[in-house]
Amino acid sequence: MLSVNSLVALLSATAVYAQQSAYGQCGGTGWAGATTCVSGYTCFETNEYYSQCIPGSNPVPISGGSAPSTTLMTSTISSGSGGTPTTSGGSSATGGPGTTLQSGYYWIRAVEAPNFHDYLQTSPEYVPGTAILDSYTTAGQFQIVSGQLVELVSGGLLYANVEMMANSTVNKLSVTFSTTKNTYGTFAFSGDAVQWDGTAVGVARQNLSAWLVCTNQTLWINLGAYGYMTPAGCADETIHYYNGATAVS
Ligand SMILES: *[C@@H]1O[C@H](CO)[C@@H](O)[C@H](O)[C@H]1NC(C)=O
Ligand SMILES: *[C@@H]1O[C@H](CO)[C@@H](O)[C@H](O)[C@H]1NC(C)=O
Ligand SMILES: *[C@@H]1O[C@H](CO)[C@@H](O)[C@H](O)[C@H]1NC(C)=O
């Protein structure tokens, strides 16, 4: 016959060993439940209050700096949309949050011709690659946290990385998304406009909101003035967040 004490011990041992299911909570202040996830999922710390089991084996947590103004990752990544999971680097499933805006995230889009309502995304979609403005049907979901422009993807976040200015003749800087944080300048929202400020790394800009969209819809930071001496093959744009439930053309 089991004593009450050994029964309690057995139950708590069970609680410790149980694995949380997909998208379930797996940590945070006061959390007493499972802290590991079922196979194929990793416990991703959103903030000190909440961790969640999300697909993939190599999540990139947000750490350092001040807390985000909105809570990240409290909603689940919906299944069945956002591209077929693929394998890259041998293990991580890739994909995205799909076509419904997740809590705490935004669409980011241009509002001027010739890129009116083209949306920020990576090329290829949801994996490290070039930042482009393209169709609303493949729009990514973004937030700015502690100066980092982040995209929500399965397995964690991608960070917008800015190309270093090679010399004083350069008039635009490329933007690529990576699993590592940006160390060159900081991103911010000014109203709904996305800005990049390079002051701290010695890059003076006439207009912090000036962007360029060039060949193949690639997005660049415009180091010149908005609408003046636009580089060949490029169009001047400002880019803005949009928080409608779905991206629209
Ligand atoms: C400045 O850097 C750009 C980009 O790397 C390069 O193409 C160009 O040749 C450089 N110009 C000079 C004068 O060094
Ligand atoms: C930057 O350019 C945009 C687009 O023309 C304009 O709306 C904004 O006022 C400019 N900002 C500054 C600080 O000049
Ligand atoms: C644009 O994309 C096409 C097709 O992928 C590629 O062949 C071409 O080199 C790209 N152009 C530039 C300037 O990157």
Residue 150 has pLDDT above 90, yes or no: yes
88 pLDDT band (50/70/90 cuts)? Answer: very low
The residue ranking higher by pLDDT, 94 or 162, is 162
In this predicted structure, what is the pLDDT of residue 47?
67
Mean pLDDT of 54-78: 43
Residue 173 has pLDDT above 60, yes or no: yes
Segment 212-245, tens digit of pLDDT: 999 999 999 999 999 999 999 999 999 999 999 9
In this predicted structure, what is the pLDDT of residue 52?
79
Mean pLDDT of 15-20: 66
Supply the pTM of this predicted model: 0.71
Identify the weakest region by mean pLDDT among 2-6, 7-11, 79-83, 175-179: 79-83
Q: Rounded to an integer, what distance in angstroms lies between the CA atom of residue 221 and that of residue 123?
A: 17
What single DSSP character describes residue 200?
G
Q: Report whether residue 238 contacts ligand 2, using a CB cutoff of 6 Å.
A: yes
Residue 87 has pLDDT above 70, yes or no: no
Segment 71-81, tens digit of pLDDT: 344 333 433 33
Q: How far is the CA of 172 from the centre of ligand 1 (A)?
A: 12
What single DSSP character describes residue 181?
-
Backbone angles phi, psi at 133, to 5 degrees: -110, 120
Which atom of ligand 2 is found nearest the CA of 238?
4
Which atom of ligand 1 is found nearest the CA of 168?
1
The residue ranking higher by pLDDT, 64 or 58, is 58
170 pLDDT band (50/70/90 cuts)? Answer: very high
Count of all residues that appear for the chain in the document:
249
Residue 10 has pLDDT above 60, yes or no: no
Q: Report whether residue 166 contacts ligand 1, using a CB cutoff of 6 Å.
A: yes
Neighbours of 51 (CB within 10 A): 24
* Residue found by looking up tokens 């991206």 in the block: 247
Instruction: Establish whether the linkage from the previous residue to 97 is cis, with ω within 30° of 0.
Output: no
81: its two tokens: 């949309």
What single DSSP character describes residue 127?
S
Q: Report whether residue 169 contacts ligand 1, using a CB cutoff of 6 Å.
A: yes
Residue 140 has pLDDT above 70, yes or no: yes
Which atom of ligand 3 is found nearest the CA of 233?
13
Q: Report whether residue 170 contacts ligand 1, using a CB cutoff of 6 Å.
A: yes
In this predicted structure, what is the pLDDT of residue 56?
66
Q: How far is the CA of 209 from the centre of ligand 2 (A)?
A: 6
226: its two tokens: 């908005």
